[in-house]
Amino acid sequence: MRPFQPEDFDAAYRLDQACYPPGIAYSRYALREFLGEPGARAWVAEEERELLGFIIVRRVRTDRGHVVTLDIREDRRRRGLGRRLLETAETWLAEQGVKRVYLETAVNNQAAVAFWQQAGYKTLGALPRYYLDRDDAYRMEKRLP
């Protein structure tokens, strides 16, 4: 686990393309925009210099944070990498004064919904046609200590 570096970009982009379907995966431009936004931070999980996962979060307002994306290589899921990346990001957000963190996740991605619920996120409501103007998402939120 370490902070994201500019040289991680290509591997992170490829991983995002592998994790999400076309149209939902971020373009190179969008990924660069998220990484460069004021208040954004990212971390990677790697093994032997190979990127296994990454997370991007941002401080949106004084007391609000947003999980932009959490990507874990498929063959490395359910081993605690996502949880560790999320804990690192949430700790940083809390140090910045963030009290609540929100995210969006597809309603039909049962594994993701379960992951977020286990991490303490509560569903606030549905966002109709959030993805590709056709698939619904949940807005989820967690209060940080």
The answer as to whether 109 is a domain residue is: no
Instruction: From 57, 87, 53, select the one nearest 71 (Cα to Cα).
Output: 53
Q: Please answer whether residues 4 and 54 qualify as being in contact, where contact means their C-beta atoms are separated by less than 8 angstroms.
A: yes
Residue 23's domain comprises 2-103
Provide the 3-class DSSP secondary structure of residue 130. Answer: strand
Tell me if 17 is assigned to some domain. yes
Q: How many domains does the chain have?
A: 1
Output the domain CATH number for residue 10: 3.40.630.30
Q: Is the pLDDT of residue 115 over 90?
A: yes
Q: Which of 69-73, 80-84, 98-102, 131-135 has the lowest mean pLDDT?
A: 131-135
SS3 content of the chain, % helix, strand, coil (to 5): 35, 40, 25
Is the CA virtual torsion 129, 57, 99, 107 positive or negative?
positive
* Residue 33, domain member (yes or no): yes
> What are 38-81's pLDDT values in tens digits?
999 999 999 999 999 999 999 998 899 999 999 999 999 989 99
pTM: 0.94
Is pLDDT above 90 for 13? yes
